Chains A and B, each alone.
Chain A
Amino acid sequence: MSVKRKISVAFVILGLILLLSSVIAIFEFVTMRRTVAQFVTEDVESINNSRMLLEITDDYNFRLMEKIGDTTLSETPVLFEIGSDNRFKSYMGRIYERFTTAEERAMADSVRYAYIAYAHIVGEVPEVWKRNYSERREWFFNKLYPVYNQLRSYIGKLNALSQNALKVSSDGLNAAFYRSIMPCVVAVGIELVLLFLFNYYVTYYFLNPLELITRGIRRYRETGKAYDVSIESNDEMQNLNENVKEVIRKNKQLLKNNLQ
């Protein structure tokens, strides 16, 4: 193989490894981006939706509790009509759009049914307000509060499932990151080793012979000593050496003829 071809093939190999690692890095980056967008973002949104559901129910319940304690009120408190309040429905709808696991769907159904039960009991407020304080209080703590607690519990569990799904996605992302970076790390490591080897080979097989030839020519030129460099690489270096030997031989012959 000629010197030119050896160096070309070496560069092709080095380039191939770099290209391969770059392609893999880009591919893995795109895959990870999709994973982040698809799973992690959805999980975070599910957690936010669950949190909003909890806030809405807590807010309504605490305001109702506050009104129950207000003995000056004789008319039904003007709170939002829970049946026509769209906030809860809106967030429930968003949760239903973003399921990542089957357990989340099942728990969302539980939340929805618990909410329906809660709303049904809240529908008794106009009737309850006609009763006295003690009866209102009893209704609130014995009838509404357990259902409210149940609803709250389901929302909490739904939130926990969303957080778990986020953890799983994060772990998957971690593993994917590790897998995506390993080929690149390996390729770069091997590339460094090959570059070192390349440097050694170029020095040993090309530059050293050139130096030997140069030294041999200088020695002949300065001292007249015989040119005794031997190169057996079967490539251009060997050809160069043979040609130099031939030139020196002819030069010697010419000098000899001139002297004569």
Chain B
Amino acid sequence: MNVGLISRNVGVALVFNAAFMLSGAFVAVLNGWDTSFFPLFYSAIITLATGLFPLIFVRRGGVINLREGYFSIVLSWILSCIFGMLPYVIWGGEFSAINAWYESVSGYTTTGSTILNDVEALPKGLLFWRTATHYIGGLGVVVFMILVLPTSRNAVGLKISKLEISELSKANYRFRLSKTARIIITVYLVITISQTVLMRIAGMSLFDSLNHAMAIVSTGGFSTKNMSAAAFDSPVVEVIMIVFMFLSSLHFGLLYSSAKGHSFRVFRNPVIKFYSIVLLAVIIFSAGNLLLSGNETNVFTALRHSAFMNISTASSTGLAVDETGHWPVTSLLMLLFLSLMGACSGSTTGGIKADRVCLWFSSLRARLKKQVNYNAVVRTKLGNRVIDSELIADVNVFIIFYLLIVFVCAILLAITGLSLQDAVAASVACMGNIGLTFGSGGAFASYSDLPVLSKFICTVEMFIGRLEIYPFITFFALRRWK
């Protein structure tokens, strides 16, 4: 294995992280040299020095193979999380070693669950760094590595990119790999800037607007407020967030094509149609449920809260405007369904992905048709595209594997002392990188009271969820590779 090449690629990722740390330090300076300046600046120096070190010795170039690519990706993730916890550890406060690790992993994997009991006690530099970890994680370390791996053969690079961009989504990316990366970055930046501007106009401060925009586009969910989005108490802000959470949960390539072609082509995609219809149905049903149960008395408020919470869950953003602790059980179960389903591949969301669920339903429909007419030749179709049986089998295996991991982790969490509700809620939230919990603490609760082992299990689950299972397992099976 070419250690030099791997270390160089990991070094580039660390340099990128250091740049964002310096941005956080700059925010601390703008905030009157708050207490986060030193931790961020020092961490940036350390991370930059460590990242630059391999670059001194290892020349650019050299062909990377698949094994080395996998190693580079997963090692970049792990080291980014380790170095990402430095500012927290050095600042202190509620950040013990395990808490800092948890917050860092939650940030990079865009989960958004926090161990902080008082988010607003953090200085602005550190709040910005929290959100920046979402931003970096949402794009994925690999996008930047693709940009700096010009000599990786396209086939290898495409396989590596599966770690970040779901396998299903590559079908819609009818572009070369480098262009794919540019599309993702472009859409990312456009959504960030436009949302920041709109929320600023709606009355939020620039700092809050930028942080929430970064958290939403990466579907992370770290808020600068203890009460999450509810702290702003503004219907306009909530509607803006709803729209952008929805956009961030769609396939970026289709968004780009639609925007470029000035059309609504994105909504002709069968997966997006399926996802939108499911969301709409759940929102309306949940709103009705909230009204009937007496949780809400105003129709528009009920619709707004239902839309926000359901889209926040489906997109795995995890921001909250309402305390789900007092929601009726049926609405909670729908949230649970959405947290498992997730949104579209090709975005930064977690979960099983709407593509797979849509495929599963299509294959179920074909199966039922065959059940009725045994001799008929029934093909599974997604839109006009015929889906081969191998892909269907892969989808089925993935769904079962996903649920199995959720179940196993829930058991492990229960062993560490969590109640059934909390264990299942935490397992689902971490695996789907949602962050929002339906546990006994409610939507605004933090994970600070979890035992140390539980926190560690949650972080492992976040990794598995973010890398969509197989790359995580492949990494540990690398020794068996020849």
> Which residues of A are in contact with B by a Cβ distance under 8 Å?
1, 6, 9-10, 13, 16-17, 20, 24, 175, 178-179, 182-183, 186-187, 190, 193-194, 197-198, 200-201, 204-205, 233-234
A13-B52, A187-B46, A205-B4 known; A178-B57 Cβ under 8 A: no
Q: Tell whether B396 is near chain A: CB-to-CB under 8 Å.
A: no
Q: How far is the CA of A233 from the CA of B54 in the complex (A)?
A: 14
The chain B residue with its CB closest to the CB of A233 is B59
Q: How far is the CA of A244 from the CA of B59 in the complex (A)?
A: 23
Q: Tell whether B7 is near chain A: CB-to-CB under 8 Å.
A: yes
Binds A, one of B86-94, B302-310, B332-340: B86-94
Q: Tell whether B285 is near chain A: CB-to-CB under 8 Å.
A: no
Give the chain B neighbours of A10 by CB distance below 8 A: 53, 56-57
Give the chain A neighbours of B49 by CB distance below 8 A: 13, 16-17, 190, 194
Q: Tell whether B3 is near chain A: CB-to-CB under 8 Å.
A: yes
Closest 9 A-B residue pairs measured CB to CB? Answer: A201-B57, A179-B92, A13-B49, A182-B90, A9-B56, A6-B56, A182-B89, A205-B57, A183-B90
- Cβ-defined contact, B45 with A197, below 8 A: no
| Minimum distance in angstroms from A27 CB to a CB of chain B | 10
Q: How far is the CA of A20 from the CA of B52 in the complex (A)?
A: 17
- Cβ-defined contact, A175 with B90, below 8 A: no
- Beyond the given A179-B90, A187-B46, A194-B49, could you list 15 further A-B residue pairs with CB under 8 A, ordered by the A residue number? A10-B53, A16-B49, A17-B46, A24-B42, A178-B92, A182-B89, A183-B90, A186-B46, A186-B90, A194-B53, A197-B7, A197-B54, A204-B3, A204-B4, A233-B59
The chain A residue with its CB closest to the CB of B93 is A175
Q: How would residues 89 to 119 of chain B score, 1 for a CB under 8 Å from any chain A CB and 0 otherwise? A: 1111000000000000000000000000000
Q: How far is the CA of A190 from the CA of B54 in the complex (A)?
A: 13
Q: How far is the CA of A186 from the CA of B49 in the complex (A)?
A: 13
- Cβ-defined contact, B90 with A190, below 8 A: no
Q: How would residues 1 to 45 of chain B score, 1 for a CB under 8 Å from any chain A CB and 0 otherwise? A: 001100100000000000000000000000000000000001001
Give the chain B neighbours of A6 by CB distance below 8 A: 56-57
Give the chain B neighbours of A183 by CB distance below 8 A: 42, 90
Q: Tell whether B169 is near chain A: CB-to-CB under 8 Å.
A: no
Q: How many residues of B are in contact with the other chain, CB < 8 A? A: 20
Q: Is the interface of B mostly helix, strand, loop or mixed?
A: helix
Q: Is the interface of A mostly helix, strand, loop or mixed?
A: helix
Q: Can you sample 22 A-B contacts with CB below 8 Å?
A: A9-B56, A10-B56, A13-B52, A13-B53, A13-B56, A179-B92, A182-B90, A186-B46, A186-B86, A186-B89, A190-B50, A194-B49, A194-B50, A194-B53, A197-B53, A197-B54, A198-B53, A201-B54, A201-B58, A205-B4, A205-B57, A233-B59
Give the chain A neighbours of B86 by CB distance below 8 A: 186
| Minimum distance in angstroms from B175 CB to a CB of chain A | 33
- Cβ-defined contact, B45 with A20, below 8 A: yes
Give the chain A neighbours of B45 by CB distance below 8 A: 16-17, 20
Q: How far is the CA of A84 from the CA of B232 in the complex (A)?
A: 65
| Minimum distance in angstroms from B115 CB to a CB of chain A | 17
Give the chain A neighbours of B52 by CB distance below 8 A: 13
Give the chain B neighbours of A9 by CB distance below 8 A: 56
- Cβ-defined contact, A193 with B50, below 8 A: yes
Q: How far is the CA of A190 from the CA of B85 in the complex (A)?
A: 14
The chain B residue with its CB closest to the CB of A187 is B46
